[in-house]
Amino acid sequence: MISTYIILVVSFLFALSMPLSFLAVSKLLRPSKDRNPVKNAPYESAEQTVGKSMDTINEYMSFFSIFLAFEIIAIVMVLWAYSSSYFSYGASLLIILSLILSMVFSSIAYRLSSEVHG
């Protein structure tokens, strides 16, 4: 019984040590950030930025939020369609109502984030 836990701990330590060793070796081999000022300069398509630069996370966050919401809605719809015969009429109405509300709230969130980010 204890041998199973020993194998589990050794496997866990090995799985933890591999990425940490890769990170340590890359930290030792790569040049420092201060040596290359061009690498830290902002650019767009190899051109200097004009005006306010926007990072990718803020630029596409509205699309990500709407995609994630509709992905969850699609999963719930598939599961509901598969097991709808087991639900009562009231439970099915609650599921449909929650899906409609989630679509409404996700579209509101998309519009709000679109207004914030231009």
Cα-based distances in Å from 25 to 12, 20, 21: 20, 9, 6
pLDDT score of 54:
61
Q: Per-residue pLDDT for the chain (118 aa), expressed as one digit of tens each? A: 788 888 889 999 999 999 899 989 988 887 776 666 676 666 666 666 666 666 666 667 667 777 777 777 778 777 777 777 777 777 778 777 887 887 787 778 777 766 665 5
Helix axes 89-116, 56-83, angle to 10 degrees: 170
Q: What is the pLDDT of residue 46?
A: 62
Q: Are 73 and 102 in contact (CB under 8 A)?
A: yes
Q: Which structure tokens are listed for 79?
A: 């599961």
| Chain segment 76-104, per-residue pLDDT in tens | 777 777 777 777 777 778 777 887 887 78
Residue pair 107/73 in contact (Cβ under 8 Å)? The answer is no
Provide the CA 28 distance to its chain's centre, in angstroms. 30
Q: Nearest CA to 76 among 50, 56, 102?
A: 102
Please give the model's pTM, rounded to 2 decimal places: 0.38
Q: Which amino acid is at 1?
A: M
Percent of the chain clearing pLDDT 90 (strictly above): 7
